[in-house]
A and B are shown apart, each in its own frame.
Chain A
Amino acid sequence: MTPLYLYALLGTEPPPGRWRGLDGEPLRFVRVAGLVLAAGPMSRAPGPSLSTLRRHDAVVRRLAGAVPAVLPARFGALVTDRAALAELIAPQAATLRRALAQVAGREQMTLRLYGSARRGEGEAATFFPSGRGFPSGRGFPSGRGLPAGPGTRYLTSRSAATLRAQPDLARLRRTLAGLVRAERIEPSQTPPLLGSVYHLVDRGQRRAYQRALRRVTCQLADLRVVPSGPWSPYAFAPEPGD
C-alpha cells in the first residue's frame, strides 16, 4: 500500500481533469464523512525546500480555483494509506466541515504589521521567547502541530488583545470591517514585527480590499503594513485541539 500525501480538504470533488500533485503524481479524491480529501500517492514526505513549498501551494491553488471551499493541509502530512487517512480525519470531521463552510467562496489576505512595541506590549515575550526557547515547537503561539496548553492559549490571546488595542490597528480594522468575513490576529514577540493579521475576504473583493487598505495605511502614524495575497485560507484551518 502506497502512503498518501495530503494537500487539502475540499467541500466538493473538483470536475474531472488531469489533477497532479507536487511530484506530478495523479491526485486521488478520498471521501470521508462528507469531506473530500485531495491526496497523492507518495513513498515518503517531500523535504521542505522552497521548490516543494511552492509546488505544494500551487496544487492547493489549482484546487481552490476549481471548487469554492478549500482548507489547505499543512506541508508534510503523509499517512500510511487511505484507511489511515480516513481514520485520522473522521474524528475532526465536524470541526473541519464548519471551517470549510467558513472559507467557502473566500480567500485569505495577510497583513504584516511593523512598528515599535510600547512598554507593556511585549510583555508576553517573557513567556514566548520565540526561537531557541521552544526547540520542540510545543506551545509556539502559532500552533506548530501540537495542541497549545491553556496557559499558552491565555497568554497568546492576551498578547493579541494588546495588539488589537493599538490605535492604528483599530483604525485599520474599522476601515476594512465591511470586507472582512473572518479575522485572525497573531502577535509576534520579535520586534519590529508586531504581528500578523489574516483576513478572510469574499473572492472578487480583492480590489476593494486593496483600495481600502491603501487609503487607510497612508494615514497610519505608528504602524507599517505589508500586505500579501490572495492566499488559499491556510490561516483559517482549525488549530490542533480546536
Chain B
Amino acid sequence: MKRATRMKSARPRRRSERRRLAARDQSLLDLVDNVLSKGVVVSGELLLGLANVDLIYLRLTALLCAADRVSPAARGWRGGRAALTR
C-alpha cells in the first residue's frame, strides 16, 4: 500500500520534469535560431571566427524539425497545457 502511494506521487513529478526538460530543449533551439541566424549583421566580410556557424545552423534546422517528435511540451500544446518558454 505504501509502495503504491509512493509510485502514484512519483509519476506526476516525472511527467512535470519531462515537460520542463522539453520546454528547455525547445527554448535552446529558439535561442540558437535567434542568436545565430537573426539580428543586425554588421558586415559579412568582418564576421570573424565563425567558419562553423553555418554548419551549426544547418544542424539546428534538422533539430527544429525533430523537436515536434521528441518534445512532450510540443505535443501537449494543443491541449493548452504547455507553457510559453524562453
Contacts and interface: CB of A to CB of B under 8 A. Distances in A.
A and B bind: yes
Contacts of A137: 54, 57
B39 A72 contact: yes
A54 B31 contact: yes
B36 A235 contact: no
A224 B42 contact: no
Interface residues of A, number: 70
A71 B85 CA distance: 21
A24 to B, nearest CB: 19
Contacts of B21: none
A163 B56 CA distance: 26
Among B30, B40, B86, find the residue whose CB has the most chain A CB atoms closer than 10 A: B40
Interface string A210-238: 10001001101000111111111011011
Interface in A121-154: 130-132, 135-137, 142-146
Among A48, A50, A108, A240, find the residue whose CB has the most chain B CB atoms closer than 10 A: A48
Contact of A145 (B44, B61, B73): B44
Contacts of B64: 112, 188, 193
B40 A9 contact: yes
A36 interface: no
B68 A229 contact: no
B35 A234 contact: yes
A227 B84 contact: yes
B46 A96 contact: no
Contacts of A130: 58, 61
Interface string A91-119: 00000100000000000111010100000
A72 B65 CA distance: 25
A192 B65 contact: yes
Contacts of B80: 214, 217-218
Contacts of B32: 50, 53
Interface in A51-84: 53-54, 56-57, 71-80, 84
A56 B84 CA distance: 21
Contacts of A172: none
B59 to A, nearest CB: 9
A190 B57 CA distance: 14
Contacts of A136: 54
A177 interface: no
17 contacts: A44-B48, A45-B47, A50-B31, A71-B39, A74-B36, A76-B48, A77-B46, A77-B47, A78-B46, A78-B48, A110-B30, A114-B68, A190-B62, A225-B78, A226-B26, A226-B67, A231-B30
Given A48-B36, A192-B65, A224-B74, 12 more contacts: A6-B42, A132-B58, A136-B54, A146-B44, A190-B65, A210-B84, A220-B78, A227-B84, A227-B85, A234-B34, A237-B38, A238-B40
When A and B form their complex, which 5 residue pairs have the shortest distance between CB atoms, in order from nearest?
A: A234-B38, A45-B49, A74-B39, A234-B34, A114-B68
